[in-house]
Chain A
Amino acid sequence: MPEIVTPHFGRLAYEETSIIEFPAGLPGFEDEHRFLLVDHGASRPVAFLQSASRGSLCFITMPVPALACAFRLSASTEDLRLIGKDSGKQPEIGKDVLCLAIISIADDGTPTADLLAPLLINLKRGLGVQAIQEEPQYSHCESLPLQSEESACS
């Protein structure tokens, strides 16, 4: 079983079937195509997008619906094609794709979420893309709610 040594999770063994392939990499990391979604039950809703090639490269992510219940996906046709979801309409978050926001954390622990360019993951096919929104409603650095409660949009 392949392994990657990481500063946050130590030695991570993984199944090849767990790899999420980002055909276009990520903006700023265009050569990084293979990632693992590290999701410890007790840490949910937080998940970590860990590079399977570079142990030092890792992103904190959170599900977009947990951050912005009014979020409407407006991914480009090209981005949807990269994850095999180019049916002519936007995929349904939570049903067709996992939609995650990359989180940045300031010195004092204050987090912000990138809701302008969320990660879209087709779990069935193990494909991902960072989809810059064609009709953005939010910015790259939206403030987070601090509670880990269920979505307030019930």
Chain B
Amino acid sequence: MRRRAGDSILIGDAIEVQVIETAGGRVKLGISAPPEIPVVRGEVKATCDANKRAAGLLTPERIALFTARLGIKNPQAR
């Protein structure tokens, strides 16, 4: 759907997305939603997922593999 500045989109009964301003290839949006529904930029969610993956994948074995690949000392305590 196409929207101009000042137009809005309703999602269900409780969420409204309003186009506040468009300029220079960017769109400024205003979003109204109930407090129990988190509203975040897509990049924030993607960063969240990337961080959880990075932290979750960090095992002593992977650190050893990684440092060996780089040719540097494995700093882990023995």
Contacts and interface: CB of A to CB of B under 8 A. Distances in A.
A111 B46 contact: no
A102 interface: yes
A104 B72 contact: no
With most chain A CB atoms within 10 A of its CB, the pick from B51, B53, B72, B73 is B51
A108 B48 contact: no
A81 interface: no
A7 B60 CA distance: 8
Given A105-B58, A146-B69, 15 more contacts: A8-B76, A9-B75, A9-B77, A27-B47, A28-B47, A29-B51, A46-B67, A58-B58, A60-B54, A104-B57, A111-B66, A116-B46, A117-B47, A132-B44, A140-B50
Contact of A108 (B52, B65, B70, B72): B65
Contacts of A146: 69-70
Contacts of B62: 105-107, 109
A57 B62 CA distance: 15
A51 B11 CA distance: 39
A26 interface: yes
Interface of A: 7-10, 26-29, 38, 40, 42-44, 46, 48, 57-60, 102-109, 111, 114, 116-117, 130, 132, 136, 140-141, 146-148
User: DSSP class of A's interface residues: helix, strand, loop or mixed?
Assistant: loop
A11 B58 CA distance: 18
Interface of B: 41, 43-44, 46-55, 57-58, 60, 62-63, 65-77
**Residue with the highest number of chain B CB atoms closer than 10 Å, among A10, A109, A111, A117:** A109
Q: Is chain B's interface secondary structure helix, strand, loop, or mixed overall?
A: helix
Given A58-B55, A102-B54, A140-B46, A10 B69 contact: no
Contacts of A130: 47, 51
A59 B48 CA distance: 13
B43 A117 contact: yes
